[in-house]
Structure 1
Amino acid sequence: MKMGQGVEWALHCCVNMSWSPSGEAVNSARLAELYKLPSAYLNKQLQALVRAGILSSVSGPRGGFQLARRPEKITVLDIVLAIEGPEPAFRCESILGNSPDADQLEDYVRSCLVSQTMRQAELAWRQALSRQTIAGIAASVERKFPTAKKDTLQRLMPARG
């Protein structure tokens, strides 16, 4: 399975936003600059997260994006679904129904062992992603890279005047 790069971008941005002070928005242009990403395309990914209720958009001179929920309540699966959509990765086309001895009344999506195997694997994958939260990733980053939070916030948050 291959996901678009927007998933990676969105996950990193949400981890960064989890570190921002409560009520403070992170400017998407600063995020794009930090990661050397195309600003317009990153903004599209962030807007998808707004539509999914993961981020909120703040207008004005200190505007940008912020988490709409606590980072403990945002799973990796939430972000994947917001960016990639809810459709299953594997789509059974019921090709067994085309074989010479096929029963035209059979539901091959449900009875085909290939289909069952793929659906079970996708369920396991989705369950694993649903157990991982932005807060958990942020905490792991902070343990492994103790200065990451401070360094990132210095680059993303405007200086106080």
Structure 2
Amino acid sequence: MKMGQGVEWALHSCVNMSWTPVGEAVSSARLAEFYHLPAAYLNKQLQALVRAGILASVSGPRGGFQLARRPERISVLDVVLAIEGDEHTFRCEGILKDAPGGSMDADYARTCLISQTMRHAEVTWRTELSRQSVAGIAQAIERRFPEARQDTVSRLTGIRT
């Protein structure tokens, strides 16, 4: 499985916004400049997060984006699904129906051991991502890089924390 780069961009953006003061919006242009990313494409990712209820869009001269809910209530899975969609990564096509001894009436998506294995792996992957929050990542970054929060907020908003 391969996720698009938008997932990485969205997760970093959410972590950055988790550090900004409540009510303070960050423009997509500033985020794009911060990471040297194409602004239009980053903005598309941020809009997907707005549609998913992860971010709120703020209009006006100091507008931009801010978290729509507390960072501990935003899982990594929430962000991945907002950017990549909710389709399953593996789709059983039921090719066993046409194999020797196959049955047209069988539900191979449920009974095929390969399908079961892949479904189990995806459930495990989704469960692990749902356990990790934006707040948890932000806290881990702060422990490892104590200056990261202040430096990031200063660069994105001009505010010294």
Alignment match, 1:24: 24
1:54 and 2:54 correspond: yes
Alignment match, 1:92: 92
The whole-number CA distance in structure 1 between the counterparts of 2:159 and 2:114 is 56
Identity %: 71
Counting matched residue pairs gives 160
Question: What letter matches 2:133 in structure 1?
Answer: T
Once the two structures are superposed, residues 65-114 of structure 1 have per-residue CA deviations (whole angstroms, 9 ceiling, x without a partner) of 00000001000000000000000111111111111211110000000000
The whole-number CA distance in structure 2 between the counterparts of 1:98 and 1:85 is 31
> CA 1:70 to 1:159, structure 2 compared with 1: closer, same or farther past 3 Å?
closer
What are the residue-to-residue correspondences of 1:28-47 with 2, within 5 Å? 28-47=28-47
The whole-number CA distance in structure 2 between the counterparts of 1:156 and 1:30 is 6
Instruction: Decide which moves more: 95-104 or 39-48.
Output: 95-104
The whole-number CA distance in structure 1 between the counterparts of 2:33 and 2:100 is 58
1:50 Cα shift? 0.2
Question: What letter matches 1:31 in structure 2?
Answer: L
1:32 Cα shift? 0.3
The whole-number CA distance in structure 1 between the counterparts of 2:108 and 2:53 is 36
Runs of 4+ with deviation above 3 angstroms: none
1:7 Cα shift? 0.3
- Secondary structure in 2 matching 1:82: helix
Question: What letter matches 1:35 in structure 2?
Answer: Y
Once the two structures are superposed, residues 36-71 of structure 1 have per-residue CA deviations (whole angstroms, 9 ceiling, x without a partner) of 100000000000000000000001110000000000
Alignment match, 2:5: 5
| Unpaired runs of at least 5, structure 1 | none
Alignment match, 1:150: 150
- Secondary structure in 1 matching 2:106: coil
Q: Are 2:153 and 2:159, in contact at CA under 8 Å, matched by a contact in 1? A: no
Question: What letter matches 1:48 in structure 2?
Answer: A
What are the residue-to-residue correspondences of 1:121-132 with 2, within 5 Å? 121-132=121-132
1:159 Cα shift? 5.6
Once the two structures are superposed, residues 11-34 of structure 1 have per-residue CA deviations (whole angstroms, 9 ceiling, x without a partner) of 000000000000010111010001
